[in-house]
Amino acid sequence: MSDPQAYAVGWICAITAESVAARAFLDEEHAAPRQVAQHDNNSYVLGKIGNYNVVIAALPDGQYGTTSAATVARDMLHSFPNVRIGLMVGIGGGAPTQKHDIRLGDVVVSSPGNGNGGVFQYDFGKTIQNCSFQTTGFLNQPPVLLQTALATLKSTYEMRGHQLVDNVNKNLERIKKRSKYRQPAPASDRLYKSYIIHPSSSPHGCDAECGDDDACLISRHKRDEEDDDPAIHYGLIASGNQLMKDARIRDNLAAERDVLCFEMEAAGLMNHFPCLVIRGICDYSDSHKNKAWQGFAAMMAAAYARDLLHQIAPSSVEAERQIREVLGSIPPNGSHGVKGLKLSKVEHLSIARNPHFVVPFPSDPDFVNRSDIWTWIEERYAGPNSRFALVGMGGFGKSQMAIHFAHQLRATSPKTSIFWVNANTKATFEESYRSIADILALPRRHDLDVNILALVRDWLQREDVSPWLMIIDNADDVKILFSKDGIETYISYLPNRNKSKILVTSRSRDAAERLTGNANMVYAVPTMEKEQALQLLQRKLGRDVNEADALRLIHTLECIPLAVNQAVAYIHRRSPRVTVESYLEEFHNSERRKGTLLRSDRGDIRRYDGVSNSVVVTWQVTFEQIKREQPRAANLLSLMSYFHAQNIPEYMLHDYSSGNIGSEGANDKHGETSNIDFEDDLDVLRGYSLVTMTATPGLLEMHSLVQFCTKVWISEFGSPDQWKTLILQAASEHFPSGVFETWQQCQTLMPHIQPLLDKQPSEERDQLEWSKLLTNVSWYLVMLGNYFRAEVIVRQAVTIRTEILGQEHPSTLTSMANLASTFWNQGRWKEAEGLEVRVMETRKRVLGEEHPSTLTSMVNLASTFWNQGRWKEAEELDVRVMETRKTLLGEEHPSTLTSMHNLAFTWKKQERWEDATELLQDCFHRRENVLGADHPDTMSSAS
């Protein structure tokens, strides 16, 4: 095991490719460290380059940005206290200009100058296009010995050129998957003009989507033989907490600050890890990103770092102070607590006590006031409760309302501080608090051992601090809010103070209620009213639009603000070729085209960097969160997405919640558990505003766009066939026969099962379920008088059941009887008679002459005889059926009464008036008693 005290060089990477490249340039690798500090979760690779032992640490997988980098650096210094030289080595995005010919594979090195360390933090929460930029901090200058080595190496390269590519190629032999780290073909290095944007939702490469001709690309000359290629650049690196992917913002910042490169981690090392930043260029900080150059760029940066270390004399390193000494002492146990921290002294007391406005988004000039929500916010802000919340689906306008309220409050109450906290992840929560600490200039905020969350909370709870409003945005994940940072839960770091308020926005009602502690302090934000959505559309378009088209569009988009913004952005970007009318035509053209439009990632700039304006992507975040929190609820949502959006019957979902469609024993213990599960799952979906109750008990509804986006999500990350099978099973189980008593149920279910009727399943089991559904639906359609449609679908049922079950199976005979019924109702007596005789004789043989199904066949055949004027044959069958039913079912059974009714009308046709009248009267009185006076059968007997 290696001794942590033996390592003087700390090397930090962000992604796997950077770590692989760093290891490829180690002269030797060492064993794992003997021990690390308590609370250190870093993974280390130890080794040697030249005379120096090097410790390499990478950011946790998937956790990039300034906060993660700061945590990794802090923990490294706890575990390796002798680190004296810091390097941040990896990839970045170039900012090519006429002054700086930066190309893919080049290396940019942070070069100190003008009193700064060569890296500055350019964003504070959000970079807004067309706005000027403010510097929010500079990275500390690296040690003098690194600056000296940098100057020496720069001179050497100028004199002799560098051998970095040769060194990369030589060290590739150490990497198994070396093709990813080779230098790509120069032709793949394309610099697109700044106004050419690659849509984030496009599945196509840049060649197909953006073009590869001179009209799209910036022409660059071939480098001279005297020039290094790849080249090394020295200057300013811009670091932000989000990926730079807007060429116009890149160009503006490059022009204002002479920036050469953009990256995401170095700003997190301010005041934590003074170091040199070395970046291999893998893209151009625009929307045309790909990973083809990442491996080679990482290798080039690592090769430069190796050359740099060879320029440093061992005696110089030994004389250099430990980084932890430079920054201040660190408690030996690595504790991050703040017990005993006194806040009586601040760097600038007036700064801390003055009002501050820390909101990362501008107010929307096209803001549409939603008076009911606005009034509620104002009343809660003025009321006695300290916390209140807006809850609703992503894209419904919660954050926009909070942003506008913040700006209005700033105008009406200038002495009130307003702070914005992004609670989307632990990292963004902590970063927001760190930004507040910087704005307030709180003491000890740069100390390595300080708990920044407690520091901010305790300060805001002081009575001598100006009143404040804190907006906790994106507080969606209960697990994050109630998890611990090692000491306390994150929710415990929310300050409490008289005359100060906290406004929460969340997609989760559960999270909102737990944060506010009072369900009455939570407002469920719905979609916009029609007039509000129309006003938003007109303001965003900024021009006259046909009102009928506008109304159709907002109806199609269900008055959802994000969807309206997204559609307007799409229309603007493609104007004048795309209008509101043509957008609607595209939207309804196909499911695939609808998905493409709803994935469009343009729209409101008042959203976090990296957060999509796409309706599909926005809602998929919620779907994934539900899947993590309660997978069963995600399954329920998946099934419901295949129903019609309105009037979804709960009874078709109850069995599903336990995974058993059509399971028996609905009232046993297992069934009770299933009902409890269903209620829990439904509560989750309602809490996220994905499902609502209707005015009719037992019926649910969803937004059709939510259903569509759920199905898109399932098609990408799940199994659509699974849910199509489940809804088919549910429909087959619950769609009843078409008798009068079930008409209301059939009417409710028809919109849900309609899509199932038009496509035959491929699996045999599903085909049998489908044939059962078709048979029952055909019965209902016959009762409605839609005989042609009934015949078409029941023929399919007959075919399937005959092929799979055989001609004599009872289910096949049921479908054949229904087919005969469609013939009968169309007056096709001979066809009806032929099929009815066949069904009746088969049922007699298979089921017996007294079986109810056999008797039903006899009734049907008698009716066919009757309609052909064959009264004696009809009478014979009617009498046999009536007498048999009296014996088996009783004289007042509805089926017996039907037989009496049929026989009476047969006697009428034979002019046996007295017998017919007596029998009809008897039938009428019995039906009135059994079925009720309003039943159609009762009324037919009365006539």
pLDDT in tens, 469-499: 999 998 988 888 887 665 688 889 999 988 8
Residue 863 to residue 879: CA distance in whole angstroms = 13
Phi-psi domain of 387 (left: phi exceeds 0; alpha: psi -120 through 50; beta: other): beta
pLDDT band (50, 70, 90) for residue 339? very low
Residue 801 to residue 812: CA distance in whole angstroms = 5
**pLDDT (0 to 100) of residue 891:** 83
Q: pTM to 2 decimals?
A: 0.56
Instruction: For the chain, give the percent of residues with pLDDT over 90.
Output: 29
Q: How far is CA 592 from CA 435, 588, 618, 709, in A?
A: 43, 10, 18, 11
Residue 503 or residue 194, greater confidence: 503
The CATH class of the 349-524 domain is: alpha beta
Residue 215 tokens, joined:
């009209």
The answer to whether the bond into 576 is cis (omega within 30° of 0) is yes
Instruction: For the chain, give the percent of residues with pLDDT over 70.
Output: 86
Res. 428: pLDDT tops 60: yes
pLDDT per position as a tens digit, 153-197: 988 888 888 999 999 999 998 888 888 899 999 888 888 887 777
Architecture of domain 4-193+234-327: 3-Layer(aba) Sandwich (3.40)
Identify the burial level of 37 via C-beta atoms within 10 angstroms of its C-beta, where 0-12 means exposed, 13-18 middle and 19 or more buried. buried
Residue 40 to residue 58: CA distance in whole angstroms = 13
The DSSP code for 522 is E
Res. 890: pLDDT tops 80: yes
Report how far apart the first and last C-alpha atoms of the chain are (Å, whole number): 101
Residue 35 to residue 3: CA distance in whole angstroms = 8
Alpha helices in 107-217 (DSSP H): 144-160, 164-171, 206-210
The answer to whether the bond into 96 is cis (omega within 30° of 0) is no
Of the candidates 896, 915, 826, the residue with the CA atom closest to the CA atom of residue 864:
826
pLDDT per position as a tens digit, 624-647: 888 888 888 888 988 998 898 889
Choice among 72-81, 85-94, 146-155, 575-584 with the minimum mean pLDDT: 575-584
Q: Which is it for strands 52-58 and 232-239: parallel, antiparallel or unpaired?
A: unpaired
Residue 236 to residue 257: CA distance in whole angstroms = 8
Q: Which is it for strands 259-263 and 357-358: parallel, antiparallel or unpaired?
A: unpaired
Residue 688 to residue 374: CA distance in whole angstroms = 21
